[in-house]
Chain A
């Protein structure tokens, strides 16, 4: 929220981007129609819409598959990331021993391990393989942010807790976790998007399996040169990513609005 935005009415924040979107789509439509661009190069937005309506059932089914995997990977990343970070915060030794391996998990490209994971899990359980791969991508930002957050509790407050004889558990629950909350939420915002990216990339590599996600719809449409359908799937993916991001921003706002600088609306 920059200084110059202060006077902007709330409605404008929605109206302006929507207008930009409409103008953009209009120019796209005009460009395709006036330039006679063939639909297998660039389909017009109207054609993409038609394709979306025609393939609504199969695309929505795929959207659900992708959403399911993404959310499951994301939730497991939250549990695993925060859990491991708490373990790290309790013992420097454990952190020292394990953190490098967490980094290995992060820096290894998911595309490179996908075939291996797929073999281990079995081709009959592709969705599980995709889930594992998406989790691997989403897990690290939460781990590293939470680890940092748990460590950045105010030192004087720490002393105060010691002075009052607080137990390890009380320090964690009453001081470290609340202090880490803004960090955890920032990590979650990154991870939410990464879980989706992981799910899509993993599905590209792993293939269809039983459930077919949006990624596979894109591959499929590519094979058939059904570009409007490809765009329709692409739009749904972007929409999903945007929805995840804004839901997490909203959760962040709800949790931090009373106290954290990042979420406080200044009235002067």
Chain B
């Protein structure tokens, strides 16, 4: 789980020259190359407009690249059918209970609710919301809604979890708590996480690797490996190691900003 054994893990996803140009000529992404390995926790960090969300949507297959290749190292080279996606907003269905919101991915697959129930409760327990199965989204706080969103993304036990600034709209206490919970879940489940954020601190705290992105056009400026051991906790946030990594990410970001 440290930096040393990372190269030993097989690659999961290779991006080769992935570019995206919008209809009005805006270049959102200009030639991104990257490799994501199985079990990686990779953050994409950068200023707004650097195309990090666009890149995530391309990886998810929600939009196609204008050029370049997204190659999954699966048996057929396509995206795994099971993939979790967490948006910046919780993106819950307001008319459905917490349980039904988490049930959605399974329901769309034609699984009966009664049959899925143990799985749903387990997903809710994992995010600490088992007591709120019958509540409606409007009865929950922002942090709790985000947990429901996380439970929904995890209920199919996907090998890959894509997160698009998931905790950016939350207050700092809630965010740190959710960061810790996410890390704990990741350590126990070992899915691959691609985490988009504009917070340097969050990216360093969570990731194994931080891909630093720059804007106009969107591209990868550099990569910072975070070798810190797990579990990471408040002590890590105060360590020299943490501060050094933040400085490194910050320096890489500055390179991308034109003087």
Contact = CB atoms under 8 A, between A and B. Distances in A.
A178 B95 contact: yes
Given A170-B108, A178-B95, A259-B95, A163 B85 contact: yes
Interface residues of B, number: 22
B117 interface: no
Contacts of A261: 138
B94 A260 contact: yes
Contacts, number: 50
Interface string A161-181: 111111000100011001001
A264 interface: yes
Most buried by A among B85, B93, B107: B93
A165 B108 contact: yes
Contacts of A166: 108
Contacts of A170: 108
Contacts of B136: 258-259
A161 B57 CA distance: 14
A220 interface: no
B101 to A, nearest CB: 10
A124 interface: no
A178 to B, nearest CB: 5
Nearest to A166: B108
Interface in A181-226: 181
Given A164-B109, A259-B137, A159 B93 contact: no
B64 interface: no
Contacts of B87: 156, 160
Interface of B: 57, 60-62, 81, 83, 85, 87, 89, 91, 93-96, 104-105, 107-109, 136-138
29 contacts: A156-B89, A157-B91, A157-B93, A159-B57, A159-B62, A160-B85, A160-B91, A160-B104, A164-B104, A164-B105, A164-B108, A164-B109, A165-B81, A165-B108, A170-B108, A174-B104, A175-B93, A178-B93, A178-B95, A178-B96, A181-B95, A258-B95, A258-B136, A259-B94, A259-B136, A259-B137, A259-B138, A260-B94, A261-B138
Closest 8 CB pairs of A and B: A156-B91, A259-B94, A164-B108, A259-B95, A178-B95, A156-B87, A166-B108, A164-B105
